[in-house]
Amino acid sequence: MSHHPGFPYLTVLILLPAAGALLAAVLPNASRVVYRLIGIVTSLAVLGFAIAVGFLLQAGNGGYQFTSHHVWAKSLGISWYVGVDGISLFLVLMAAVLFPIVLVSAKSNRDPRAFVGWMLLLEAACMGSFLSLDLILFFLFFELTLVPAYFIIGGWGYAGRAYAAIKFFVYTFFGSAFLLVGILVVAFLHQSQTGVLTFSLPALEHTHFSSTTGILLFLAFTSAFAIKAPLFPFHTWSPDAYAEAPTGGSMILAGVLAKLGTYGIIRFDLNLFPQASRTLAPLLLTLAVIGILYGAVVACAQRDMKRLIAYSSLAQIGFIALGTFAFTTQGLTGGVLLMVNHGLITAALFLLVGWIYERRHTWQVNELRGLQRPAPVLAAIFTVSMLASIGLPGLNGFVSEFLILSGTFLTHRWWAVVATLGVIFAALYLLWAYQQVFHGKPKPADEKTRDLSWAERGIIAPLIILIVVLGIYPKPVLDRITPSVNRLVDRVELVTHTHQPPVARFGTNGAEVQATVRSAP
């Protein structure tokens, strides 16, 4: 089941950025170019390895691949156990794409040494979180993300950065408290049932929980992930953190770190507690729908573009949770795909808003007008990103939202119906903001707004290309996500004795549809 080539690709994916961070930290008094170069070269190398993993991954295999397993602390039962499957692969790739963009775009930051160091450490921690198959190892990386993120918000953020950084840190750490104890209880129960002390996810999947214990543990795990994601009503840290963080920080926070929460739900909650997940699905689905509507309504009321994107993220995370707890192949696949798409779209939006701020020193929608005339390229790229976020067919956001809504409709009809309203709201607030900022007659101050330079166009080009390509031809991605999702859905169905409607399996994986059709009499 598990396929692993000799070269430890995944370990390199984690250790390479960490080594880069260390290099930046110990290199004394080099010029800022050197530090920036360390950051860019390291993150590009990581991207190269991530792409290699993407090509070498066996598409039809839903299990963990590239696994490598080394005992780390024997008496504590902790191992360096990493592996990748279709669910984590694209998150890794997405993160690997975003980090070089952040590091290239952050050229005017003060103290590039510390910025590069923290960013690379953050990349290592993100990679580690996505790739860990040992629960404690995951927890370590999950926690490790907080430290650099805290310093990036606090050190390079805007006026309210200290408050935002602390709020972010304390909220997330609070959730982790429950997560760690939950992990320990799971391992303890597993040890009492089998006599083996381990934190390995595949081994712990076979632990039996009474329904109450399962629900309590599910809640302990989910509290950490729901705060990190953030799901309504644990989202109150996120608008502050997203708004006060520097552009690069916002891109990573919303693009990558938020996905740790939703990824954690899919990877750990669903695998470890399928029964409890199923039992509590209505609760989570309801929270997701509330999040979608609440995020959209509050976004409508925002005058600050960064906060607007923050609340629209809340709605998008709601969609991811909706797809996850629909327990259909379509819904889950859409959820995983939306994690990737949302990362790309939000990063592009934050980058663009950051560039508008560099030119005009404001995020307030009211203070900007008619930017389209002096900056047509900026306006065009903004349009593409915005339309992708709304879910226009042909761009990547549509594919994932469609899969989620159709997957949810099959099993949880009314939730899907209500959630669809969120799509309309998204069009409303994003188009409204776009109209305010780009249309109309420019104010005198807006007239001389510089358009995007070629360097800036080059920086954002990868994101726009991916947004378009994933919208037109998502098949290679879906072909790799679906086997892993099917494996997960099968597991949940096996444990809970429920079945998704057969149609939910179709439409996500062309090969599988053909195979089914052929095998039919």
Strand duo 65-73 + 78-84: pairing: antiparallel
Closer of 7 and 188 to another protein (Cβ): 188
What is the C-alpha separation between 368 and 362, in angstroms, rounded? Answer: 8
Closer of 31 and 108 to another protein (Cβ): 108
Closer of 122 and 270 to another protein (Cβ): 122
What is the C-alpha separation between 151 and 145, in angstroms, rounded? Answer: 10
Closer of 124 and 288 to another protein (Cβ): 124
Query: Considering the rule CB under 8 A, would residue 418 count as an interface residue with another protein?
Result: no
Query: Considering the rule CB under 8 A, would residue 219 count as an interface residue with another protein?
Result: no
Question: Which of 22, 45, 57, 72: binder of another protein (CB under 8 A)?
Answer: 72
Q: Using an 8 Å Cβ cutoff, are 504 and 411 in contact?
A: yes
Report, in Å, the least distance between residue 109 CB and another protein. 8
Query: Considering the rule CB under 8 A, would residue 25 count as an interface residue with another protein?
Result: yes
Q: Using an 8 Å Cβ cutoff, are 293 and 515 in contact?
A: no
Listed residue (298, 297, 347, 292) closest to 319, CA to CA: 292
Closer of 75 and 519 to another protein (Cβ): 75
Tell me the number of residues near another protein by CB under 8 A. 44
Query: Considering the rule CB under 8 A, would residue 184 count as an interface residue with another protein?
Result: yes
What is the C-alpha separation between 311 and 302, in angstroms, rounded? Answer: 9
Closer of 72 and 506 to another protein (Cβ): 72
Cβ neighbour number for residue 482 with a 10 Å cutoff: 27
Question: Which of 15, 44, 59, 173: binder of another protein (CB under 8 A)?
Answer: 173
Q: Each residue of 380-400: b (16+ CB within 10 Å) or e? A: ebbebbbbbbbbbeebbbbbb
Closer of 180 and 418 to another protein (Cβ): 180
Query: Considering the rule CB under 8 A, would residue 482 count as an interface residue with another protein?
Result: no
Q: Using an 8 Å Cβ cutoff, are 435 and 307 in contact?
A: no
Give the x-and-dash track for 317-356 against another protein (CB under 8 A).
Answer: ----------------------------------------
What is the C-alpha separation between 382 and 372, in angstroms, rounded? Answer: 10
Query: Considering the rule CB under 8 A, would residue 154 count as an interface residue with another protein?
Result: yes
Query: Considering the rule CB under 8 A, would residue 181 count as an interface residue with another protein?
Result: yes
With contacts defined by CB under 8 A, name the span among 88-96, 144-152, 264-272, 448-456 that binds another protein: 144-152
Q: Using an 8 Å Cβ cutoff, are 315 and 296 in contact?
A: yes
Give the x-and-dash track for 438-477 against another protein (CB under 8 A).
Answer: ----------------------------------------
Query: Considering the rule CB under 8 A, would residue 73 count as an interface residue with another protein?
Result: yes
Query: Considering the rule CB under 8 A, would residue 74 count as an interface residue with another protein?
Result: yes
What is the C-alpha separation between 119 and 251, in angstroms, rounded? Answer: 12
With contacts defined by CB under 8 A, name the span among 91-99, 168-176, 428-436, 479-487 that binds another protein: 168-176
What is the C-alpha separation between 309 and 475, in angstroms, rounded? Answer: 28
| 406-to-257, 312, 323, 335, 456 alpha-carbon distances in Å | 27, 21, 9, 12, 37
What is the C-alpha separation between 190 and 136, in angstroms, rounded? Answer: 14
Question: Which of 283, 358, 431, 465: binder of another protein (CB under 8 A)?
Answer: 358
How many residues in the chain?
521
List residues near another protein by CB under 8 A.
25, 72-76, 108, 110, 114, 136, 139-141, 143-144, 147, 150-151, 154-156, 158-160, 162-163, 165-166, 169-170, 173-174, 176-178, 180-181, 184-185, 188, 246, 357-358, 361
